[in-house]
Amino acid sequence: MIGFGNPVLFVCVRGEKMFEDKNWEPEFCGRLEKCFDEMKWLYMELYGNNQQAFDYFLSMLHEYYAARTPELKEWDDARLIVPDWYRGNEMLGMLMYTKCFAGTLQGVRAHLGYLRECGVNYVHLMPLLESPEGRSDGGYAVADFRKVQPELGTMEDLAQLSSDCHSRGMAVCLDFVMNHTSEDHEWARRAKAGDPEYQARYFFFDNWNIPNEFEKTVPQVFPTTAPGNFTWCEEAQKVVMTTFYPYQWDLNYANPTVFNDMTANMLNLCNHGVDIIRLDAVPYIWKRLGTNCRNLPQVHTLVRIMRMAAEVVCPGTLLLGEVVMEPSKVVPYFGTVEKPECHMLYNVTTMASTWHTVATHDVRLLRHQLETVFSLPKQYIFLNYLRCHDDIGWGLDYSFLKQFGVEEVAHKKFLNDYFRGRYPGSMSRGELYNDDPRLGDARLCGTTASLCGIEEAEAEGDAEKLDRAIDLDVMLHAFLFAQSGIPVLYSGDEIGQLNDYTYHEDPLKRDDSRYLHRGKFSWEEARKRRSAKTREGRIFKALRKLEKIRMSHDVFDSQADTWIVETWNNSVLGIGRYYQGEKMIALFNFSDAPQTAWISEHEDYFDLLTRKKRPAKNVELPPCGFAWLMTVFKK
């Protein structure tokens, strides 16, 4: 979809809007009218009162509304009746690569029964749109937003999978790579050929003068594997902006054609049944010389307009923002109650702080991080996770840690040494990612199980070590499930899948250590999940028990009051939750030695796992152990 097309006729007189196009349905007009004033004001402010572009934008919205299937419109209606359908304690997500999990989209369809057995009702499929082999960054360099990677299937397969998921009460999430395209995208190919219209969709410069000015203020994302933010394009004999990798060309959202057509690409995914759109690298999408090109005000304008576009066309759709930054920069992407932006954001700082706590056995930073999260409005929904497709970056609150004598570079080295098993007493097995010895800023890769020590314990045949490693794995998931928001498992974690070192043998993958935890899902290991004698069975059974408890108690609802419980023990984290007459005290021992939570709650409590009475007083916890204690008040 290129250009602005034919403008849609409408009249705006004294604030009273009358849409004159006879083909516009009352439902569509009603939805549009609710947000029209704000949408037009934001669009015109951003794009210099470009009426033609705005007219095209509206006609495009109607086109995708009209193309939405009756089944999807029914899905929209159901969610409009219960708009907070994703905010409770029933949601459980799983993140997966289609090829690793089941080969193809049809393969995923065939294994939906397994996902339901896992309790999953939110399926996040990693990037699967067409991208060039060897230059895709794991699918994040999209060559065609309208085609699935041929080896995975077709857009029709995606629609069928989504339909099957909906019939089982499952939502589908897909990444929308909006900051850039592949250099193989049609727009990029035309830009290489010298077409000025398509060069205007990217950032092209005749020489290095302006790019060099950008480099003075714009940080590098991958300083070792892809240094700099610009690349020389030999075909065009110009410099092009490439924030991430040289084959990923940044889109120029100051050009309304880019925004219009990319929004159309997003809505096309929604019309193929995608319920949750993950906005990839959203803080980067607006560039301005003299800034760091991160989190600029125009980014929020664009996201707000996209939110309104979705509410008009496909109101059952959620926007998930990928904002991998500290809370002060993450929270603004929720927008406000009156003018919301993303429905959900990643709780990335809690994830990184959790692994820091595993290494240090000291909960003070994690407690400090959770206090920040607990103070936020309850309508803010976070996705909580232990591991995902990406590395672990040590973007911790070093200003807080400084009071304990922690120095940033030295601490990052300690954490990376610990999780590579190079620190005394560590059983972890991970690898560095994007190591920069000059800055000491390497990040870390590895599966949950391998980082918890299961890999080493099994390699040594040490049953005692294995017990402790599994206990740590389960405790971390218990902590995950005790947080407000939506817990998301990384495919394979439900059976404790280990690192996959075979990527070292693949010339297309061996330079990217993130493939360490992107291995093929082992269905052979999954078949062991029903045996309580196996690692797979022990973890699967434990997680399913925790998940069922979480779904059956209101206290896990995101609307619950939450607070930090003082345990008077720096190795034990305490969390309190209260909602609709249920009060929970959750305790987590991050030490590999027995610990006591020195608490004294006066109510009568019982253990949620055993259903037996258990006083919430001076609670003893085994190494890497936890307790979920509950009391119920009469209503």
Q: pLDDT tens-digit profile of 399-448?
A: 999 999 999 999 999 999 999 999 999 999 999 998 877 667 899 999 99
pLDDT on residue 23: 76
- The closest of 68, 75, 13, 71 to 309, measured between CA atoms, is 68
> Rounded distance, CA 599 to CA 576, Å?
12
Q: Which band of pLDDT confidence, cut at 50, 70 and 90, is reported for residue 542?
A: very high
pLDDT at 53: 98
Question: From CA 251, how far away is CA 280, in angstroms rounded?
Answer: 13
Catalytic site residue 341? no
User: Does residue 275 have an active-site annotation?
Assistant: no
**Which DSSP helix (H) or strand (E) runs through 24?**
none
Cα-flanking dihedrals φ and ψ of residue 399, to 5°? -65, -35
For residue 215, give the nearest of 289, 118, 141 by alpha carbon.
Answer: 289
**Amino acid letter at 50?**
N
Q: Following DSSP, what letter does each residue of 356-392 receive, concatenated? A: HHHHH---HHHHHHHHHHHTS-TT-EEEEES--SSPB
Under the banding of pLDDT at 50, 70 and 90, the label for residue 15 is very low
84 backbone φψ class: left, alpha, beta (φ>0; ψ -120 to 50): alpha
What average pLDDT score do residues 269-288 get?
97
C-alpha distances (whole Å) from 371 to each of 275, 364, 375, 386, 494 are 31, 11, 6, 19, 28
Yes or no: is domain 182-250 CATH 3.30.70.250?
no
Domain with CATH 2.60.40.1180 in the chain: 555-632
CATH 3.90.400.10 placement within the chain: 182-250
Q: Which of 130, 322, 494, 557 is catalytic?
A: 322
- Render pLDDT for 19-47 as a digit per residue (tens, 0 to 9): 665 579 999 999 999 999 999 999 999 99
- Using DSSP bridges, classify how beta strands 10-13 and 16-19 pair: parallel, antiparallel or unpaired: antiparallel
pTM: 0.94
- pLDDT at res. 224: 79
Distance (Å, whole) CA 191 – CA 286: 20
| Parallel/antiparallel/unpaired status of strands 122-125 and 129-130 | unpaired
What is the separation, in whole angstroms, between the first and last Cα of the chain? 57
Q: Where residue 556 falls among pLDDT bands split at 50, 70, 90?
A: very high
Q: For residue 13, what pLDDT is reported?
A: 34
What's the CATH number of domain 555-632, 2.60.40.1180, 3.40.50.300, 3.30.230.10, 3.40.1580.10? 2.60.40.1180
Is the pLDDT confidence value at 602 over 60? yes
Does 231 have pLDDT greater than 90?
A: yes
Q: Could you tell me the two tokens for 339?
A: 């003018």
Among the listed residues 280, 391, 455, 494, the single catalytic one is: 280
The three-class DSSP label of residue 282 is helix
